[in-house]
Amino acid sequence: MTNTTICRGCGEDISFDRNKNDRWAPVHPISRQPHRCQTERTCEGPGCGKAFKGASWMKLCPDCFRNQGGGRQRAQDDASPPRTTEDLKPGPLGDDSDVPF
């Protein structure tokens, strides 16, 4: 059996293995399948409050996430207005031996 540790997110026993990108990733110690935290969560969507299982960073249940537009199609904030350009101020004059930067 391999060395195991406890997942900080859900408390299950996990091991680490190298994935296809040659990076260490958490896996189930026996089946060697990728570990996905499944803790009890409560949806923070407006008026929802459903209980669902997911990672500690998840705020919305799958239904609310899909209704919001999900991942890449989700509405983004409006772009901030462009900055005004500033004119460069002349630097102090020095002799030719000064470093130019």
Spans of all domains in the chain = 1-36, 38-70
3-state secondary structure of 17: strand
Cβ neighbors of 50 (< 8 A, separation 6 or more) are: 42, 43, 61, 63, 64
100 or 54: whose pLDDT is higher?
54
Do β-strands 39-42 and 24-27 pair in parallel, antiparallel, or remain unpaired? Answer: unpaired
The string of pLDDT tens digits covering residues 36-91 is 888 888 888 888 888 988 887 888 888 888 888 766 555 556 778 888 888 877 76
| Distance between first and last Cα of the chain | 60
The string of pLDDT tens digits covering residues 7-31 is 887 888 899 999 888 999 999 988 9
Predicted TM-score (pTM) of this structure = 0.47
Within 13 Å of residue 16, how many CA atoms lie on the same side as its CB?
7
Q: What are the Cα distances from residue 26, in Å, to 16, 32, 40?
A: 5, 9, 20
Residue 97: predicted pLDDT: 66
- Where residue 69 falls (left for φ over 0; alpha for ψ -120 to 50; beta otherwise) is left
Written as six digits, the tokens of 8 are: 């900080």
